[in-house]
Amino acid sequence: MAITVEEIFETAQMILYQNLDIRTTTLGINLKDCVHSDFGKFRARVYDKICHYGTGLISQAEKLEIKYGIPIVNKRIAVTPISLIMESHLSAKKYIQMALTLDKAAKDSGIDFIGGFGALAQKGLTRSDSLLISILPEALSKTKRVCSFLNVGSTVSGMNLDAVNLIGPMLKDTARRTRNAVGCAKFVVFVNAPEDNPFMAGAFHGIGEGDVTLNIGISGPGVVRGVVEKNAECDLSALSEVIKRTVFKITRAGELIGRELAHNLKIPFGIVDISLASTTARGDSVAEVLEAFGIEGMGTHGSTLALALLMDAVKKGGAMASANVGGLSGTFIPVSEDSGMIRAVRRGSLSLDKLEALTAVCSVGLDMLAVPGNTPPETINAIIADELSIGIINNKTTAVRLLPIPNKRAGALVKLGGLLGTVPVMRVNKYSARKFMKRGGRLPAPVTSMRN
């Protein structure tokens, strides 16, 4: 389907006035062919492969930014889950050295972040998985660009609570080692994690992917908010149609850039992720989109319905525009990275409990929220397990990116800096689930998983 002059003009308006951008171009790179019994040669192969593709991504992306005038905000790389390729090098020292190698390769090639320093632990933990979790506080505190993930469940396998129970202590240790717990922002725990997600911190190159692929993530909360404000009186069906048409246009523009970039790099094009991803920029807030619907304050009654409408319209509009929609594709509701969400928490219209309810219809989960530094590890684990159970039962991706801020209490406002923004510390229920979480084991897969 050809791109028309009218579409180009509309896209230019979106870029200039409504913060439309290509939020990320993410190269997925297979590192399995780098494995070697000599660890020095192994690291050298990893470094060389990342630098080779990373420098190419940077140069070609910059050319397309100039050609089309569309900002490409982040250039990233996702690699094969590290626990899989480190199984013949099981030592904490080597894991740290690999993290430093990834960090140096990303820095030297000009990449913003590199994801995949993680593990797939849906049903159990290998020795490699357990070792990786144990060294994460050191790895995340000693690197700037390395991002980590754990996938601890799926609708088919249930949830690995033994893995979840390792996360709270790990996050508390990471928080103590990094300023304002910012190291925790580079770690996310999933269930039903997609293998082609281009967004950090959860991106990794899935084992079902090819050697190299390019996935892109586009975003346009400001664009959607603009069309919602122009249609202030229409009913929900009409409002959905307006949003669908808008997302259709955004997706078409994004896929055009992605396909040309992949062609120039001589690698396969993967997917376009159509998620509405907030930033701290004025007017680039998902919460403000919902408030434009007629919600007085994000988090009040009616917010879940509004978010469900937005999610459905975004997915339908993207699916009509492209056969290659993938990743997370929906709506992110991070706390620290969305100015409207920050205001909602501070004025009291959005609580942790309501945020969890909203995640039943959003595309990710509890993202970039902060809790008091004295929150017990088992309470952190319980918050994570609650959220992930929503994904297990409803056959959707859910995730948690949580920061226990040392020496901060509920109501404090903590500046994280850069894209991470400012995060308000949220109140946590004072009652404990410690005895329940100590049971461990595995949440059985729901009956809906029995499809064969």
**pLDDT category of residue 169 using cuts at 50, 70 and 90:** very high
**pLDDT category of residue 257 using cuts at 50, 70 and 90:** confident
Instruction: Read off the tokens for 423.
Output: 């995060």
**pLDDT in the model for residue 24:** 87
* CATH topology agreement for domains 24-191 and 217-441: yes
For the entire predicted model, the pTM comes to 0.92
Is pLDDT larger for residue 60 or for residue 420?
60
Q: Give the residue among 172, 247, 238 at the shortest CA–CA distance from 20.
A: 247
Helices (H), 2-156: 5-17, 39-68, 82-85, 92-109, 127-142
Instruction: Read off the tokens for 410.
Output: 């509920």
Q: What are the pLDDT digits (tens) for 425-443?
A: 999 999 999 999 999 999 9
Q: What are the pLDDT digits (tens) for 175-197?
A: 999 999 999 999 999 999 999 99
| CATH for 24-191 (3.30.70.360, 3.20.70.20, 3.30.310.50, 3.30.300.30) | 3.20.70.20
**pLDDT category of residue 7 using cuts at 50, 70 and 90:** low
**pLDDT category of residue 277 using cuts at 50, 70 and 90:** confident
Mean pLDDT of the chain: 91
Are the C-beta atoms of 289 and 310 separated by less than 8 Å? yes
Instruction: Read off the tokens for 230.
Output: 């122009």
Alpha-carbon span 64 to 82, nearest angstrom: 31
DSSP codes of every residue in 429-443: -SS--HHHHTT-SEE
**pLDDT in the model for residue 343:** 92
Q: Give the residue among 451, 261, 247, 404 at the shortest CA–CA distance from 329.
A: 247
- Please count the other Cβ atoms lying within 10 Å of the Cβ belonging to residue 282: 10
Give 77's strand partners: 27, 114
- Please count the other Cβ atoms lying within 10 Å of the Cβ belonging to residue 88: 12
Q: What are the pLDDT digits (tens) for 26-84?
A: 999 999 999 999 999 999 999 999 999 999 999 999 998 888 777 888 899 999 999 99
Residue 126 CA, distance from chain mean position:
25
**pLDDT category of residue 253 using cuts at 50, 70 and 90:** confident
Domain regions of the chain by residue span: 24-191, 217-441
Instruction: Read off the tokens for 302.
Output: 């009616």
Q: What are the pLDDT digits (tens) for 125-156?
A: 999 999 999 999 999 999 999 999 999 999 99
- Please count the other Cβ atoms lying within 10 Å of the Cβ belonging to residue 227: 17
**pLDDT in the model for residue 9:** 53
What sign results for the dihedral spanned by CA atoms 10, 12, 18, 24? positive
Domain 217-441 fold: Anaerobic Ribonucleotide-triphosphate Reductase Large Chain (3.20.70)
**pLDDT in the model for residue 218:** 84
